Amino acid sequence: MNKAIFLDRDGVINKDLSYVYKKEDLFLLDNVIEGLKELKAQGYFLIVISNQSGVARGFFKEEDVRSFHEEIQHRLIENNCSVDAFYYCPHYVKGVVEKYSIECNCRKPKTGLVEKAQKDFDLDLGECVVVGDKVSDMELAKNIGCMGIQIQGNYPLSTDYPVKKDLLEVSEYVKEITTFRIKS
């Protein structure tokens, strides 16, 4: 079985400009490349798990989400780095686009997307880590039963999970605790 880092997208990889979908609004956050490389070197799959309710809200289309993800991957590849997969939830129960305005099982902190990734990558969820900038990301970690790490951004902080400033700090922390686990 394998292990993965479940990465939130907005506020973890790229700047959270609120319902961002245009390529010109893609700004990678500090130390993203370095952090992803370090996590990869530790043997993790890098899997983006993202709520994109802007689709249900009628702000943009699924094609926009996918081309934004292609652009992220492109920028990473330019820096000799990449993520292994992008999973997103386009739903929102109070949306305006009928097709997407449902109570789904994949909007975080629900676990539908993680369960899909678990099958696709044969993951041992107990060895996985959720990284996000919202308390709801930490709720996802709790619902999966894995470790959670919150990145400090524009949102209230959880009191139950460690807080780090960027993905490089996250990678250092993950290394530290997994080394400790092996020793003990």
Q: Which residues are catalytic?
A: 8, 10
In the list 3, 7, 8, 55, the residue contacting Mg ion (rule: CB under 5 A) is: 8
| CA atoms of 9 and 20, how far apart (whole Å) | 10
In the list 10, 13, 20, 76, the residue contacting Mg ion (rule: CB under 5 A) is: 10
* 31, amino acid identity: N
CB 164 within 8 A of CB 170: yes
CB-nearer residue toward Zn ion: 104 or 157:
104
Structure tokens at 59: 């702000």
| CA atoms of 58 and 68, how far apart (whole Å) | 16
In the list 48, 72, 76, 89, the residue contacting Zn ion (rule: CB under 5 A) is: 89
For Mg ion (CB under 5 A), the number of binding residues is 4
Closest separation in Å from C-beta 137 to Mg ion: 7
24 burial via Cβ count (<10 Å: 0-12, 13-18, 19+): exposed
Closest separation in Å from C-beta 50 to Mg ion: 8
Contacted entry of Zn ion, Mg ion, none for residue 107, CB cut-off 5 to 8 Å set by kind: Zn ion
In the list 7, 11, 60, 158, the residue contacting Mg ion (rule: CB under 5 A) is: 11
**Other C-beta atoms within 10 Å of 1: how many?**
10
CB 133 within 8 A of CB 16: yes
Site for Zn ion in 2-61 (CB under 5 A): none
Query: Is residue 108 a contact point for Zn ion (CB under 5 A)?
Result: no
| CA atoms of 69 and 139, how far apart (whole Å) | 24
Contacted entry of Zn ion, Mg ion, none for residue 104, CB cut-off 5 to 8 Å set by kind: Zn ion
Radius of gyration from C-alpha coordinates of the chain: 16
In the list 20, 123, 133, 168, the residue contacting Mg ion (rule: CB under 5 A) is: 133
Query: Is residue 140 a contact point for Zn ion (CB under 5 A)?
Result: no
CB-nearer residue toward Mg ion: 154 or 179:
154
Contacts of residue 72, Cβ cutoff 8 Å, sequence gap at least 6: 9, 13, 14, 26, 28, 48, 83, 86
Chain residues in the site for Zn ion (CB under 5 A): 89, 91, 104, 106-107
